Amino acid sequence: MVPPLILGIAGGSGAGKTTVVHKIVEAIGPEISLIIPQDTYYRDRGDLPLEERERYNFDHPSAFENRLLSQHLRELKLGNPIPQLSYDYRTHRRVESEELLHPRKLIVVEGIMLLEDGELREVLDFKIWVETSPDLRFIRRLRRDIEERGRNLNSVVRQYLSTVRPMHLRFVEPSRRYADLIIAGEGEAGVELDMAVERVRSLLGERRKRWIAS
């Protein structure tokens, strides 16, 4: 088997990462792609009482089990399956599942804290940053948390000011420098998306050639 290509998509909360991931996967081929959200590697906080879980800093690197994520990515690279994780944002608990994820030619990992982590950067073959101004990211996040996660204006604003914004400035934004390509998360991003897709295609092709030659 040709070892999978591991693509990382990072950027602040609400930048448009998930949107970019779907566009790239659509262009490359959903049947040869596997998407892994870093959010599914949030630490299970069942050890904390629910009210403390709600005040927890979900925007600090330590909120994620990044060692487990990099280990899983290395397994996929070796051609081995990994357990499928999922996360319940309401209870802040990991949801157990019996499902396995099998490696595919293209693995796309997306999350705010991907490029911040040295070990993760090492497993990523190509790193993309999605850039969107903070006001738009905040509006998108506010809308999502109210419409999809049952939150209210006050709680979203409080969380944004107390953790999301300071952690973004401290950890997320500085990791932008590690990206190989920056894509605009506002508007169409046509040219940059085409460049990303071309780059992924050519990396997949190189891998195949190297594998055939070996």
- Other beta carbons less than 10 A from residue 67's beta carbon: 12
Runs of H (alpha helix) within the chain: 17-28, 50-55, 66-77, 118-123, 134-148, 153-159, 165-167, 190-213
Q: Residue 7's binding partner, choosing from ligand ADP, Mg ion, none, with beta-carbon cut-off 5 to 8 A by kind?
A: none
Question: Which range, of 14-22, 25-33, 171-179, 197-205, touches ligand ADP by CB under 6 A?
Answer: 14-22
Between 12 and 103, name the residue whose CB sits nearer to Mg ion: 12
d(CA 207, CA 201): 10
Q: Residue 121's binding partner, choosing from ligand ADP, Mg ion, none, with beta-carbon cut-off 5 to 8 A by kind?
A: none
Question: Which range, of 13-21, 44-52, 119-127, 146-154, touches ligand ADP by CB under 6 A?
Answer: 13-21
Q: Is residue 86 classed as helix, strand or coil in its secondary structure?
A: strand
Between 13 and 159, name the residue whose CB sits nearer to ligand ADP: 13
CA quadruple 1, 202, 101, 71: dihedral, nearest 10: 90
d(CA 79, CA 208): 15
Minimum distance between the CB of residue 67 and Mg ion, rounded to whole angstroms? 22
Q: Residue 19's binding partner, choosing from ligand ADP, Mg ion, none, with beta-carbon cut-off 5 to 8 A by kind?
A: ligand ADP
Residue with tokens 């940059």: 192
> Does residue 16 touch ligand ADP according to CB under 6 A?
yes
Binding mask 79-118 for ligand ADP (x = CB under 6 A): ----------------------------------------
Minimum distance between the CB of residue 103 and ligand ADP, rounded to whole angstroms? 23
- C-alpha angle 202-205-207 in degrees, rounded to nearest 5: 110
Q: What angle, rounded to 10 degrees, do the helices at 190-213 and 17-28 form? A: 50
Minimum distance between the CB of residue 18 and Mg ion, rounded to whole angstroms? 3
Exactly one of 14, 106, 108, 120 binds ligand ADP (CB under 6 A); which one?
A: 14
Residues 6+ apart with CB under 8 A from 206: none
Residues in contact with Mg ion by the rule CB under 5 A? 17-18
Residues in contact with ligand ADP by the rule CB under 6 A? 11, 13-19, 140, 185-187, 189
